[in-house]
Amino acid sequence: MNRATLTLLALLLICALSLVAAQQRARKLFLAQEQAQIEERKLNQEWLRLEYEQRNLSKSARIRDVARNQLHMSPISPERTLYLREVK
Amino acid sequence: MRPVGFSTSPNLVLRLPMWRSRLMLFLLFFVFMLLLIRAFWIQGPGNAFYEAKGIRGTQRELELPASRGKILDRNGQVIATSLEAKSVIAYNDTIPDDLSAEKVKSLANLLQISESELRKKLKEERKQIFLKRQVDPAVAQQIKQLEIPGIGLNNEYRRFYPEGEAMAHVVGFTNVNDKGQEGMELSREKELAGHPGQRRVVVDRLGRVVEEMAILQLPQNGKDLNLSIDSKIQFLAYNAVKNAVEQHHAKAGGAVVLDTQTGEILALANYPSYNPNDRKYLTGEQLRNRVLTDTFEPGSTMKPFTVSLALEKGQVQPNTQMVIGAKYLIGPKPITDTHPYGVLTVAQIIQKSSNIGTAKLAMNTSPQEMWELYTAAGFGQVPKIGFPGAVSGTLHPYKKWVPSDQARIAFGYGISASLFQVARAYTIFARDGELVPLTIERSPEIKAGTPVISAKTAIEMRSMLETVTEPGGTAIKAQAEGFRVGGKTGTAHKLVGKGYGNKYRAYFAGLAPISAPRIVVAVMIDEPTGGSHYGGDVAAPVFSTIVSETLHTLNVLPDSKVKQMVLQDKTPEEVRTANVQTQHVVLKR
């Protein structure tokens, strides 16, 4: 066994170990990505749900009800409306 | 005795037959050969089986979920959306027989079914059974916490319709499998539907995904659909129809609002309606989109087309005087008016809705010309808006008309059309003689129409239609605050069996504002009872409400002569800083 062989053996060992380490890292990253994707889906669903909820709160029937009965508003009438024309 | 060496002991000299060692050698060799062949088999031809087994242990094919597209209104407001829901599945062979009564009871409670029903379901032969589909996420969580072996939860989507009843007939609904069943959900199923993808992954001992091998198919989410419907206008039209149906104890009602410039359908309201969010109501008559699928005799709403033809041919002018009389004898039954008139101008024939006058004008034109005009205005033709169940109505070929047919078709009997077709036909008066192509999808550019009558005739007809809503006309109740409106009433006897019974349909079809028509509105109230059944009393007020509220929503400048408007030209800066006590509406047109 001369020196060169020993160096190569050491190199081989280092490479082998780093391969294992790299694979481990890849798996970890992949898991993290999977987690993130699941999170993304969840957040997407959450966003859709919130959008729906917001829509539910702002639907015409509710707005009319709140405006009429709680805020005592009445529909606009042209008699007391000032129309402004935007000059482009 | 002479000693003998160990190696020369005669006792140890064994002479075994040669074949025994040969046999041993052969057997050993043979077994090794077998092993070798087996090894070759496993590595070579038989490999696929073992590979598959290995893969089954570590690789899985997972579904990549895809969601159904949303349906949005013209302002981007959600009118149909898919949210995740869970379905509860029982795997009956893994459910223990000694399941505690307490758990069964709480599960039954969560599923909102009786305990005995649940027990029956759990004893069924089938291995897998849906206990309930599309349960709320909160309920699903509670079911999970019960930790009953053999009860699983599956991901599903459930469709939600925030506008509920008001929009039901336009949007339609989907079934439990998220497939469109009615309305736009059905007609645009292809674009809306999502296609789930698939991927192959490597899992570890605990079933966690550790590596992705390949994406076998990319998931495709459904496309969002932008409708031309305005939820606000739809809602106010629905409410106006609903109130009228309730007030007049009618059977049903419908209304259409069209944008005359872009050809977009702004509202398509039907009453009675249903709540698409609740599955138990999704059957029966209420599902019918009457505006598009029901045909009726349009009655007097047909008269403007007949009169237009006479004007178009130059036979009469709006102020030409005509002798009307109390009866017009043609065919088996004389034609009469609700009030006898002596002499009327052509404009007054429209204003007072005289059957005799219209019939007399029609008899001066040929059946072919009438048929051609009606056909060009879309009668007897299916509206091409991609809506399921839209009908063509009937307009018999002119060769089959006898004179009394011609006279009656002139004022809307012996011809049938949907309310939608009537509204579409009225766009020719709103658009200076052009029939506008209609669309239910958002497309805000101004469309070119197909010319049907001349601009001159259309303008003359507009001012005649306006007189209908003025004193002396049949529909003063159609007047809308702030806007000049025009239209035509219709009160049609309903065909009952072979004859006309005592049931009516009341209509009003019209346009507004008269100075520059922006919308066409058609209203139908079916079988009004209790009080008046005339279009001018029943349908015209609905038209008025819809017109004034819609034009406000669209920020259209009032054009009424009666009310004094304050008009100022302002720059955008001034508009923003304007400090006025009254409400102000900025006009962008």
- pLDDT tens per residue, range B469-491: 888 888 888 888 888 999 999 88
**Closest Cβ opposite residue A59 in set B163, B481, B557:** B163
Least confident among A56-65, A79-88, B427-436: A79-88
The answer as to whether A83 is a domain residue is no
The answer as to whether A87 is a domain residue is no
Q: Is the pLDDT of residue B458 over 90?
A: yes
**Closest Cβ opposite residue A31 in set B210, B575, B588:** B210
Q: Is the pLDDT of residue B225 over 70?
A: yes
Q: Is B437:B429 a contact under the CB 8 Å cutoff? A: no
Mean pLDDT, residues B270-285 taken together: 81
Mutant choice from B565, B581, B589 vs A, greatest count of A C-beta within 10 A: B565
Is the domain of B209 the same as that of B270?
A: no
Q: What angle do CA B567, B572, B575 make, to 5 degrees?
A: 50
**Binning pLDDT at 50, 70 and 90, where does residue B138 land?**
confident
Q: What angle do CA B121, B123, B126 make, to 5 degrees?
A: 80
Mean pLDDT, residues A39-65 taken together: 88
pLDDT of residue B586: 54
Mean pLDDT, residues B213-223 taken together: 87
* Residue A34: domain span: 3-72
pLDDT of residue B576: 54
Least confident among B43-52, B261-270, B478-487: B43-52
Q: How far is B258 from chain A (nearest CA, A)?
A: 20
Long-range contacts of B275-284 (CB under 8 A, 24+ apart): B275/B164, B275/B165, B275/B168, B276/B159, B276/B161, B276/B164, B276/B168, B276/B171, B276/B172, B276/B173, B277/B160, B277/B161, B277/B164, B279/B176, B282/B173, B282/B181
Is the domain of B359 the same as that of B490?
A: yes
Is the domain of B181 the same as that of B285?
A: no
Backbone angles phi, psi at B210, to 5 degrees: -115, -20
Please report, for the domain that includes residue B219, its CATH number: 3.90.1310.10
Question: Which residues are CB-contacts of B244 (< 8 A; sequence separation ≥ 6)?
Answer: B250, B253, B523, B525, B538, B539, B541, B542
Q: Do A48 and B83 touch (CB under 8 A)?
A: yes
The answer as to whether B365 is a domain residue is yes
Q: How far is B383 from chain A (nearest CA, A)?
A: 29
Bridge partner list, B28:
none
The answer as to whether A88 is a domain residue is no
The answer as to whether A19 is a domain residue is yes
**Binning pLDDT at 50, 70 and 90, where does residue B164 land?**
confident
Q: Is the pLDDT of residue A4 over 50?
A: yes
Q: Which residues of B touch A82 (CB under 8 A)?
A: 566, 568, 580, 582-585
> ipTM surpassing 0.95, yes or no?
no
Q: Is the pLDDT of residue B213 over 70?
A: yes
Please report, for the domain that includes residue B311, its CATH number: 3.40.710.10
The answer as to whether A66 is a domain residue is yes
Identify the residue with better confidence: B305 or B139: B305
Q: Is the pLDDT of residue B307 over 50?
A: yes
Q: Do A86 and B83 touch (CB under 8 A)?
A: no
**Closest Cβ opposite residue B77 in set A55, A61, A81:** A55
Is the domain of B426 the same as that of B527?
A: yes
The answer as to whether B483 is a domain residue is yes
The answer as to whether A9 is a domain residue is yes
The answer as to whether B529 is a domain residue is yes
* Domains: count for chain B: 2
The answer as to whether B580 is a domain residue is no
pLDDT of residue B390: 84
Q: Is the pLDDT of residue B417 over 70?
A: yes
Is the domain of B215 the same as that of B319?
A: no
Q: Is B66:B194 a contact under the CB 8 Å cutoff? A: yes
User: Judging by beta carbons within 10 Å of its beta carbon (0-12, 13-18, 19+), is residue B157 exposed, middle or buried?
Assistant: buried
Mean pLDDT, residues B513-531 taken together: 90
The answer as to whether B35 is a domain residue is no
Q: How far is A2 from chain B (nearest CA, A)?
A: 39
Mean pLDDT, residues B511-516 taken together: 90
* B84-126 confidence digits (pLDDT tens): 888 888 877 777 777 777 888 888 888 888 888 888 777 777 7
Q: Is the pLDDT of residue B246 over 80?
A: yes
Q: What angle do CA B520, B525, B526 make, to 5 degrees?
A: 140
Is the domain of B212 the same as that of B80?
A: yes
The answer as to whether A38 is a domain residue is yes
pLDDT of residue B572: 58
* B61-88 confidence digits (pLDDT tens): 888 888 899 999 999 899 999 888 888 8
pLDDT of residue B46: 81
Q: Which residues of B touch A36 (CB under 8 A)?
A: none
The answer as to whether A85 is a domain residue is no
Looking at B196, B226, B256, the residue that finishes a domain is B226
Q: Which residues of A touch B557 (CB under 8 A)?
A: 83, 85
Backbone angles phi, psi at B222, to 5 degrees: -65, 155
Is the domain of B408 the same as that of B521?
A: yes
Q: Is the pLDDT of residue B567 over 50?
A: no
B255 in helix, strand or coil? strand
State chain B's mean pLDDT as an integer: 84
This prediction's pTM:
0.80
**Binning pLDDT at 50, 70 and 90, where does residue B519 land?**
very high
Q: Which residues of A touch B560 (CB under 8 A)?
A: 78
The answer as to whether B531 is a domain residue is yes
Nearest to A86 by CA among B569, B531, B125: B569
Q: Do A84 and B210 touch (CB under 8 A)?
A: no
B116 is annotated as an active-site residue: no
Question: Which residues are CB-contacts of B184 (< 8 A; sequence separation ≥ 6)?
Answer: B71, B170, B171, B172, B225, B227, B387, B440
The answer as to whether B32 is a domain residue is no
* Domains: count for chain A: 1
How large a percentage of chain B has pLDDT more than 70? 92
The answer as to whether B288 is a domain residue is yes
Cα four-point dihedral sign B443, B448, B453, B454 = positive
Is the domain of B214 the same as that of B325?
A: no
Q: Is B355:B493 a contact under the CB 8 Å cutoff? A: no
Q: Is the pLDDT of residue B235 over 80?
A: yes
Q: Is the pLDDT of residue B244 over 90?
A: yes
pLDDT of residue B333: 83
* B364-386 confidence digits (pLDDT tens): 889 999 999 999 999 998 888 87
* Residue B420: domain span: 231-553
Is the domain of B445 the same as that of B323?
A: yes
B29 in helix, strand or coil? helix
Is the domain of B128 the same as that of B98?
A: yes
**Binning pLDDT at 50, 70 and 90, where does residue B4 land?**
low
Q: Which residues of A touch B (CB under 8 A)?
A: 27, 30-31, 34, 41, 45, 48-49, 51-52, 55-56, 59-61, 64, 75-87
CA distance B482 to B561: 8
How large a percentage of chain B has pLDDT more than 90? 29
